[in-house]
Structure 1
Amino acid sequence: MTETLGGTGEFGLIEAVTKGLPRGEDVLVGPGDDAAVVAVPDGRMVITTDLLIEGRHFRQDWSSAYDVGRKAAAQNLADIVAMGARPTSLVTGFGAPADLPTSWAVELNQGIADEAELLGVSIVGGDVVQSDKVVVSVTAFGSLDGRAPVLRSGARPGDEVAFVGRLGWAEAGVAVLNRGFRSPRTVVDAHRRPQPPYAEGPRAAISGASSMCDVSDGLIADLRHIADASAVVIDIRSQALAIPEPLQAVAAATGVEALTFVLGGGDDHALVATFEPADVPDGWTVIGSVAEGNENLPPGTVTVDGAAYTGAPGHAHFG
């Protein structure tokens, strides 16, 4: 008989998911107390949090519990590195119906732990509650290691726009899954488990990035965040955006222009940043430029090849 959360109970589940978790050097007090204690060498800590709601951000018939865990951790760790910081620790929140198998919750936590372990990050605490559907919350903490944070507000006219990572793969995966298919497997897996370029965030900061953001809502949407915060205009050169073969295949099968996946697709958690031309790190692809606003193109505008983009710019909560 399958053991459920109702039978396991709150503290039984906490014991099951925290037993044997590794503890990094930054963790002074881990799970088991009223709160964790994490060292902050330079007196500053970067903090971010995200939610995953069943039926909106994931479906159990599309993703395993382990996949959901990897994704929940990845989207938070990407936010930390997008500030130029080094992730140090996570706390998690979990809500679920009482009849959910306990094994599902344990598998979820293993996914979070394995994604965190890629960066030597520790899970230091959390909470579990009963809810009508599965809800996963992750809060991530990071250290700037003495550097200033890289904000969205630092882009300057004359900067180049560059990205690193994958763009449009997760969106193509959703398009495939919505049609009832499971291939190309590469894009379906991209939806299930993003692969943020974690090392590139701190590397970009050290290289002199003037602004940076992770691409969670879509390239156009997230560049608009930078353009708004920096009061500049950003232009993207579409020819600089290579379209990988799996995206071309999905576009051909669905009748969607492949470029729309790249420009409007989120959840891959690539990093996009602005740099002085000489500061763009190796491995980053320059895709555009930053300019001052004017009467025709007010600050906060993002254009493609010099013209307004008429397609969907990306995800909008409550939109």
Structure 2
Amino acid sequence: MPNRAALLQQAACCLGGAAVVLVGPYACVASASGHHGGDVRVTCSTAALISAIQTANTRNDSRLSLASRCTYHLTTAYVGQDGLPAVTSRISILGNDAIIQRDPSASGPFRILDVAAGGDLKVQNLTVKGGKITGQPELGAGIRVQSGGRLTLEHSRVSENSSDRNGGGVGVLGTATISDSELVANTATFGAGLVQFGSTAKTTISKSVIRFNVASFDGGGLEFGQGKAVVRDSQVDDNVATSGDGGGGIYNDADLQILGSTVDRNTAGLIRTGAEASTTTVRCSRRTRRSATTRSPGARPRPGVSTTWEVRSPRRTCGSPETPPPSLRAVCGPTPSGQPGVC
């Protein structure tokens, strides 16, 4: 018969679980309850965050719960131009209103988050701030999604990130799904809020705000260079492209759908786009389709690019498949062929 000390030791092991099930006279099985089995509580320490991501990469379906309202300061690159280890497995980051930012005193350029091929990152309730990258072909100073990687961003904010080339806020070569989030006050040469490249790349943005982003060439808010994209029930407002081909709000060379959204008060160079359409909401029960150029006036047409517009104008007209609604032209400006271009 086991002695009292052995029984106490066995009981202590069993009580490490959230619940205890008695199987035999002296045996027990601990069954988990409450938190997700892969949850890792990350203390308010950059070193702890790095360690947690490193460990999560060796597993699958880990959830990292950050310290509530903590600011994780990144002061140096982890490797190359990555401030943290690249995500290579399925990881969820529960931000709990925390901030991960490149410290203003940091030396050298680096982004905040990177999703590598095969990585699947889900981010909730987090602010990604202050990333800075330089050089070509770098993109995505806040978050980069590499080809074969996947990002889900929910109830989060990507702000004040800067790329001297592509994608100040988010750079997408893989797949990104962004909902109930904000891409705000990011800067780049191309695609300040978000840029997408790659024929298999896909971005879906819903119920989100893209605002106050500035591109020095084109794509102040969003730039879709290739692939497919959907902007649904979102606001693309008050963005700027200071020169180049324009597209203060959206510059598109992909198969793009803009549904139930507003594109307003965006500025491209000396041309203000969207200023005349403050009451226009991209929402209509009738859908119009047109395969046409999606560049600004004077740019070389790129046939075969499909853009779907759903529009409700102040007069509740939707236009026809051959001609975009007049209110949409006020938002985007006509191309040489009279079709919608950059917004």
- What range is the shorter-chain TM-score in? under 0.3
TM-score (norm 1): 0.25
Which one has more relative contact order, counting CA pairs under 8 Å at least 6 apart? Answer: 1
- Structure (1 or 2) with the greater strand fraction: 2
Instruction: Choose 1 or 2 for highest CA Rg.
Output: 2
TM-score (norm 2): 0.24
